[in-house]
Structure 1
């Protein structure tokens, strides 16, 4: 079959957190694309052979290049299709976009997974139907149910890895409900995160806020009732080729985003600091070895509640993007950004030293002694 010279292909599922991020981005850019379900057959015949890993989403370019990881997908397409860029050109707005992508992609995974798997009475029937329909769409119903249960049980078993335990659930829900309230205040006044134009911040936020927290029955009901403006923003994020407005003038950051940045620095950055230290220790103890997806565990605090969770290297790679961008700023730009960071409690966080840097190589993380990638080229 001949390749179409203008159409992208998105491999993923409707219920996948990161597929939603890639889908919203492709639609915002107004790009022609087709979507293929990541069935077991597609994993075996396409995704794993072409990327070397078994993760979605994957985007295939019109020329047949396969890109895995949503940040890599966005940055690759931004270089190919510069119109309607999602990277603001100014210092505070670009840093804010990078920070919110880090927050949404890595930290909001916690409430997303909690609300999906800890409300089985409301969600499980819906999720089993979704999983079965995607994994083996051609199979009899009983076989789809069997495979779906296996997949569902595997994902539910991941909750302790993320720090989701009975004792941390109340803190997770308080934090998420407070975030919803802050987002409701923001999106009742602004079309997107940074004004009337979508940015990387929006595509980061849409990942957890769509597939899990809007689309699943229990959290979807919570969002629609408690934060209707957030629900409308979610729906707006999937408009095809929407009007391209402007980011706020003068590199301004909406006041309504400041509580969200404060929450990120208070909740996520202590975990990131421990992650950076753990990566350095692990690579020193295992020179030349491939980084695993988990490198031990640690104690963390959320809303005054302490729990245990795994330490995972990937968030450090995301963190490096924000830190690299901050470090690249000229003195005049740095002064303005520092005012924002002081106001949100992030000045010390963005000066964090990273002894062992990470880079992506063949869709896997490897340790690198020098700078891995800049914040604008990932």
Structure 2
């Protein structure tokens, strides 16, 4: 049996970009198979029970779906070049950035892809799913039909006429500025070695915001050091590099962490409260819906409604689990950092009803 892994995904896919960068960095031998309609119907759906990419097939014939799960499983099998810092503050910050990249940077990623003139590039990219071997004009025709489904998801994320100016200001004049400042002095988030947080950021910043024509031009012009970071993670250095000594968190990350806790954290907290309530009100339902209503959120000072997504609780549980593994002294150090810098307490998160993934579907634990 071949020892080669197989990555089922697509270049325009946010999470495929994350998985591909991880496999490349870890030097895991893999081949990539484009997720055409034929591949979805013959492999992805029958083997995983869902229609989501990326999927990684192991040499033993196991199919792993979701990037967090993929990375966790492969970290167990390939111990070298670990992306999990060993020290508590760095470990927690890494997980927070992974969560932010996976779940919050989706907002600018989806806005700039679907509300800017990235066409016909995007239509051709999506057209490959339905007609991978046809000429470009045919791919554009079918791609436009397929892409409309994804574009329809934009308002669900709270991307509306009301929030678009705030999203653009937030991303271009704050997030990119702070990331550019950080990557002007650090190769990766926590030093000269990528952590899980780097790969979380890479998904949206590469697949949507670097590759797509309009946001790609903005990113290269306004944040050239971020563009260089993208290239570093696409073509990682041969040596391991190192994380900063003494469990240090760079000062250049503090403004970004402040924004995460101010804007993203309240959304997570209310999502958890809503999930806990939903579970109590639906005691006989095991499978959790992808969304359970809407709630208010604020970005760039503007409020709007967006879908409540239970999957974010599953992702947040991971942050809490990392924290709960620390010993008393480690927790004290982390508490001092988080509470003194941001006025928060990780252990205070109300998640008595936990979620888990069962057969690639979200269920009550």
TM-score (norm 1): 0.93
Q: Any stretches of 5+ residues in structure 1 without a counterpart?
A: 369-378
Q: Cα distance, 1:344 vs. partner?
A: 3.7
Pick the aligned partner of 1:228 from 224, 227, 242.
Answer: 224
The SS at the match of 1:124 is coil
Counterparts of 1:201 and 1:71, CA distance in 2? 11
The match for 2:61 is 64
Indicate yes or no: 2:149 matched with 1:154. yes
Match of residue 256 from structure 1: 252
Change in 2 beyond 3 A, CA 1:346/1:134: farther
Q: 1:43-58 to 2 correspondence within 5 Å? A: 43-58=40-55
Q: Distance in 1 between matches of 2:343 and 2:106?
A: 21
Matched with 1:372 is: none
Q: Distance in 1 between matches of 2:41 and 2:343?
A: 43
CA distance in 2, matches of 1:187, 1:21: 18
- Equivalent residue, structure 1, for 2:158: 163
State the shift of 1:85 in Å: 0.6
Question: 1:215 deviation in Å?
Answer: 0.6
The answer to whether structure 1 residue 12 and structure 2 residue 9 are counterparts is: yes
Query: After alignment, is 145-154 or 199-208 more displaced?
Result: 145-154
Residues 272-283 of structure 1: pairs in structure 2 closer than 5 A: 272-283=268-279
The answer to whether the Cα contact below 8 Å between 2:123 and 2:141 also exists between their aligned partners in 1 is no
1:287 aligned partner: 283
Q: Once the two structures are superposed, what CA deviation does each residue of 1:318-355 show, in whole Å capped at 9, x if it has no partner?
A: 10111122123212111211222124415235521113
Aligned to 1:197: 193
TM-score normalised to structure 2 length: 0.96
In 2: Cα distance, 1:343 partner to 1:118 partner: 39
Q: Does 1:271 align with 2:267?
A: yes
Among candidates 128, 132, 136, match of residue 133 of structure 1: 128
Is the contact made by 2:320 and 2:347 (CA closer than 8 Å) also made in structure 1? yes
2:67 counterpart of 1:82: no
Please show how residues 1-378 of structure 1 align to structure 2 within 5 Å. Answer: 3-4=1-2, 6-119=3-116, 121=117, 123-139=118-134, 143-177=138-172, 178-239=174-235, 242-289=238-285, 290-345=287-342, 347-348=344-345, 350-368=347-365
CA deviations over 1:114-137 (Å, ceiling 9, x no partner): 011110x3x021100111123321
Cα RMSD (Å) of the superposition? 1.3
* CA offsets 1:220-269 (integer angstroms, 9 cap, x no match): 00110000000000011011563211100011111111111111111111
Whole-angstrom CA distance in 1 between matches of 2:145 and 2:247: 48
Shift of 1:151: 1.6
Partners of 2:109 and 2:205 within 8 A in 1: yes
Q: Provide, for residues 81-133 of structure 1, a one-character-per-residue CA deviation record: whole Å limited to 9, x for no partner.
A: 111110011100000111000111001100100011110x3x02110011112
Contact 1:265 1:345 in 2 (8 A): yes
- Structure 2: 5+ residue stretches without partners: none
Q: Give the drift of 1:141.
A: 5.0
Contact 1:38 1:135 in 2 (8 A): no
**Helix, strand or coil for the counterpart of 2:8?**
strand
Q: Is the 8 A contact 1:265 1:346 kept in 2?
A: no
Q: CA contact under 8 A between 2:183 and 2:225: conserved in structure 1?
A: yes
> Do the aligned partners of 2:127 and 2:142 also contact (CA within 8 Å) in 1?
yes
Relative to 1, partners in 2 of residues 1:349 and 1:299: Cα closer, same or farther, differing over 3 Å?
farther
